[in-house]
A = this chain, B = another copy of it.
Amino acid sequence: MTGITTAVPQPEAGLVDGVVVQRFRIGPLALETGGHLPDVVLAYETWGTLNADASNAVLIEHALTGSSHVARGESSEDGWWDGLVGPGRTIDTNRYFVVSINMLGGCYGSTGPASLDPEGKPWGSRFPFVTIRDSVRAEALLADLLGISSWHSVLGGSMGGARALEWAVTYPGRVQRCAVIACGAASTAEQIAFAQAQVQAIRLDPRFTGGDYYGSAGPEDGLGLARRIAHITYRSEAELVHRFGRAAQGMEEPFGSSVPGGRGRYQVESYLDHQAEKLVRRFDANSYVILTEALMSHDVARDRGSLSTALAAASAEFFVAAVDSDRLYWPRQSVELASALPGNVAVHTIESPIGHDAFLTEIAQLEPALAAAFYSNTDDGDVKESASALRLRAG
């Protein structure tokens, strides 16, 4: 953050995992549980242009190990909701100013455990406990700096859904529309249980050393195991059985070997190894712990009375959706959320055999309903027309 001497604060660009992000210093932040961060920076990306009255801003919130890279945009890296966001897409970046913010505590440019403290040392084990609500409060400070007093819409899936929901309840006046996909009103006992196992896997790795491993080899095995556990829960049993059955990986011999420890792998083991390796290459174990524990804390009704009382504070129009085969964020939770929301909120369904991950891979299924609910306003006819024209040309 050198060279910023203007009176008006400005973001600066940075490169995170091959993607250019903006990084904006929002200053000190008091945390919900009494902790404090003296100097918070949030990383974010934007697509499109904020219009004159700042009425076209859309916030898209990422999931646990996601980043701000929702859409490819001008980079060469695929985004995680590329199909949904872009010129001529349902969330049309010719029409909307789309923002995505790396969560507080993350490792994609925002202040997190790998960031330096005021003395220039990585926070590591000293990084404080943060909640979904803490991140949303930080994000609101960033929105202020960006000149966005009210979001046209805020949406997200999984932990991104938790963040979107928290936005709508914490800042009723600042969220006009809110889409909560594959996420309930609070993390459940089972989600907490699987999350605890993941955090313990990281802590069990001797290379974790309490979280102060920067500068040496990190807890890659522990993070990999955490990812394995998580990934099983992100997919359905039926998909695992259908894709892999009991097949061996290549020429390996999973059925055992007379050499102790010489057992080869089943395909499903190799698949999970691959998922683990991919995450370990791109994600920081401390951030995994911090964000996982933040997600465990997710409870939009905390300190707000009953769930319906808490949700009654929101003035947004809601869009709720679930994946029919999700066995981590069960459709039942989306139904319970929708029932507790003011008004009659339907639950849209992504039909997929693969489980939770379909909120990423099958988001296209929600596009007609999302477009009809949020993104077909006729009060912006010109822009809409040009978007349609673009779509026609592209088609």
Contacts and interface: CB of A to CB of B under 8 A. Distances in A.
Given A189-B244, A204-B204, A205-B204, A258 B33 contact: yes
Interface in A129-161: 129-131
Contact of A129 (B258, B268, B272): B258
A89 interface: no
Contacts of A281: none
A299 interface: yes
A190 B186 CA distance: 27
Given A193-B240, A225-B204, A237-B190, A33 B257 contact: yes
Interface stretch (A93-101, A120-128, A338-346): A120-128
Contacts of A244: 189
Contact of A228 (B193, B221, B222, B267): B193
B302 A35 contact: no
Interface in A255-305: 255-258, 260-263, 266-269, 272, 293, 296-297, 299, 302
A19 interface: no
Contacts of A260: 35, 125-129, 211
Interface stretch (A20-28, A45-53, A195-203, A317-325): A195-203
- Top 3 nearest A-B pairs (CB, nearest first) are A34-B258, A129-B256, A35-B258
Interface of A: 31-36, 125-131, 186-190, 192-194, 196-197, 200-201, 204-206, 210-211, 221-222, 225, 228-229, 232, 237, 240-241, 243-246, 254-258, 260-263, 266-269, 272, 293, 296-297, 299, 302, 327, 330
